[in-house]
Chain A
Amino acid sequence: MLLTLPVNLNALRRLKKMTALRQAAFLTLVFLAVLMIAGWFSAQWISRELDSGINDELKLRHEALSRQLKDQPSPGNLLPNSSVMFASFTDARQQVFGDNSKKLYRRAGVSEIEFEDTHSDEESRWRIYNAPAAGGQLVVAINLDHRYDVLERIGQSYLVVSIIVSVVTLVVGLMIGLYNQRRYSRISQTLDTIAAGDLSARINQTKARDDLDLVAQRIDLTTVRLESLVKQTQDLSANIAHDLKTPMARLRARLESALISPDAEDNAVTLEAALEQIDKMIATFEAILRIAYLNSGEYRARFQPLPLADIVRETADIYSPVVEDSGRQLILDVKGHTAVLCSRELLIQLLANLIENAIRHTPPDSVIWLTCHGRVLTIEDNGPGIPEHERTRVLEPMYRLEKSRSTSGSGLGLSLVSTISQLHQAKLVLTDTGVDKSPQGLKIQLAFPVAEP
C-alpha cells in the first residue's frame, strides 16, 4: 500500500502534466461553452419561429372555418375538438357551439390563456384567435404545451450531444496523450542516456509523421554530429600528444648535449636547432588555436565581397616563384570577376595551405593547376593523390595518412582549409584529378555561395 500510493500519485501527476490531455480538456471546455451559447441562441430562434408559425396556423384555420361556417346549418359538426386544437363559435343569435367558456371571448385578436379543455384534467396553455366570422364570433385555440415539448427536446438533444462529444474528445485526447507520452519518454530516456555520457544512444524515429518525430530526428542528427566531434577531439588530443612528443624528444636531446658539451661554438649550433624545434611546436599550437578561433564563427562579421579572381591571382603571384624553385610548375587559369563574401587573408591562407600541401606531397616535376572560374576554385596536382576512403578523414585536425607521417607538416593544413571553407559556407570536394590531366592526382574544389547584397 505504502509503495503503490506514491506511484499512483506520480502517475496522476504525470497525467496532469500530459500536454495532449490538457489540451484535450481545454478544447472540450471551449467546445462546451460554444455549444451552450449556440444552444441558447437556437432555442430563442426556434421559439420565435414556432410562435409565428402558430399564429399563422391560427389565422389560416380561422379563415377556413369561417368560410365553411357561412352556409352551414349545424356548425357544431364542423368545429375541431382535440387535445391539440379546438374551436368555439357564437352565431348571430348568440348561440354558442363548441366550448362555451367565457374566457375565450374576453379579448379580440391573438391572446394566450390558461385553460382546462375537455380532454384533460389539468390546465394547459393555449393560444387563441378571436375574430368575427359568418355573422358571429369564431375562436380557434391551439395547445402551446406541445411547443414547449419540442423546445425541451431540443435542449435535451443538445445536452446528450455535449456529453458524448466531451467524453469522446477526452478519451481521444487521453489516447493521443498516452501515445505521445510514450514518444516523449523515449526521447527523454535517450537524452538521459546521452547526458550520462553514452553518445551512441539514438531515438531512431525513422518515419516523420509530425513535428515531434522531426524533433526526434533532429536530436539524433545532433547526437551523430556530437559523437563525431567528441571522437575527433579525443583523436585530436592523442594526435597532438603524439606529434609533439617527437620534437620534444629532439629538443630534450639537444639541450642535454649542449649541457654536456664544453665547446661554445658547438653549443650555439645545438641551441639554434633547439629553437627551431620549439618554433615548430609553437606553429602547431598556433594552428590549433586558429582553427578553434575560426570555428567559433566570430570572424564572419568582417567578411567583405571581393572578386575571387583577384585573390587567386595575388596568391599565384606570391607562390609561383616558390613552386618553380621547388622544381614543380604552377599553371594558372582565371576566368570571370565574380565577387564572393570572404576574408582576403583567410582565402590566401587557404590557397597557400593547398599549394604548400601540393608541393610537399608530390614528386618534383609535378604540375599544380590553380583554376578559378566564377565562384568555383580548383586546385589539382598530378601527384599520388589520396585514397577515396581517406578523403573525408584528411580534413580532420591532426589526421595524417600513414605514409605522410614521416614528412614534415603538422597535419593541420587541410583541417584549416576545411574550417576556412566552412566559414565561407563554401562546398569543399576532394576527388581524383580529371583523366585529361593525370590518372590519379588530387583535385580539391571549392564552390562559394552567391554573395548576399
Chain B
Amino acid sequence: MRILVLEDDSELGNWIQTGLTDAGHVVDWLEDGRHALAAVTTQEYDVVLLDRMTPGLDGLSVLKAMRAAKNNVPVLILSALGDVECRVQGLDAGSDDYLAKPFAFTELLARINALGRRSQTGAQEIVQMLTAGDLELDLLKRQCTRQGRNIELNTKEFLLLEILLRNPGRIQTKAMLLEKVWDLRFDPTTSVVETHISRLRAKVDKPFDETLIRTVRGAGYVVDLTR
C-alpha cells in the first residue's frame, strides 16, 4: 500500500517509516502539515497517517481540508493526547481511526491493514456467509457450523468470530477487538479479551483437529487459512 505519514518527530517518523517499509508498504514521510496537504491532493494514497501537533498546519486541519475537498482516503490520527475528547474531535473531523501515543508498532500495523482493506473493497459489501476452512458463519440466520456440526454462540462470541472472519489473515489486536466487540476504549488490567477468546476457542476450535484462531504473541489474534 502507499502510505502518507505526517509526523514532525524525526525519531518517531523514522521508526514508523522503517517499520512500514519493512512490512512491504511504500511510505512518504513528511514533517510539515502544508506539504502533507499538498501531497495528499496531488497523489493517490491508500492510507494517511496524521499526527495532531505538526508545524505549518496541524493534522486535524489537514484532515478537515481533505474532507472538505471530498478526499475520502482512510485517515488514522496519531496523537499524544489520548483522551476521549480528542478521539471524538478526530472522528468528528472525519478520521477513520485514532491511535494514542505511545503505541506498539504491531497495533499501528494492524490498524493500517484494517484501514487499507476498507479502501480497497470500497463500500462495505453485504455478505451472508463467512467461511474459514470447514467453518461457516451464516450472518443472516446467526448460525455457526463446523464440519456440519452446529455450534451455539452467544451474541458477543458471534460478533468476535465474525470480526475475525471478516479480516482473514489480518491481525486483530486486543484494543481493536475491545473497540469493535464491546465498544470499550480503555485498557482493562485483567485479561478480558483473552478470556473471551479462550471461551470462543473452547467452542469453535477445541472439539476439532485444526486450530482456526491463532494467537500472535504480543500483537493479537488472527484467523489464518494459509497455514
Contact = CB atoms under 8 A, between A and B. Distances in A.
B188 interface: yes
Nearest to B178: A318
B156 interface: yes
A290 B218 contact: no
Given A283-B187, A345-B186, A322 B85 contact: no
Given A321-B199, A349-B186, A356-B189, A299 B84 contact: yes
A298 B85 contact: yes
Interface in B183-214: 183-192, 195-196, 198-199
Contacts of A286: 82, 100, 187
B182 interface: yes
A282 B195 CA distance: 23
Q: Looking at chain A, what size class is its interface with the partner chain?
A: 20 to 34
Contacts of A283: 187, 189
A317 B186 contact: no
Most buried by B among A289, A321, A326: A321
B189 to A, nearest CB: 5
Interface string A294-308: 000011001000000
Nearest to A344: B183
B83 A321 contact: no
Interface in A10-39: none
Contact of A345 (B82, B84, B190, B196): B84
Nearest to A416: B186
A348 B178 CA distance: 13
Contact of A322 (B83, B104, B187, B190): B190
B133 interface: no
Interface string B70-85: 0000000000001111
B155 to A, nearest CB: 9
A348 B82 CA distance: 18
B56 interface: no
A289 B82 contact: yes
A286 B83 CA distance: 9
B102 interface: yes
Given A283-B187, A289-B82, 11 more contacts: A289-B83, A299-B85, A318-B192, A319-B190, A322-B190, A326-B190, A345-B184, A352-B186, A352-B188, A408-B189, A409-B189
5 contacts: A302-B88, A319-B192, A325-B198, A352-B186, A359-B190
Interface of B: 82-85, 88, 100, 102, 104, 156, 182-192, 195-196, 198-199, 218
Which 6 A-B pairs have CB atoms at the shortest separation, nearest pair first? A321-B195, A322-B195, A293-B83, A356-B190, A349-B186, A322-B190
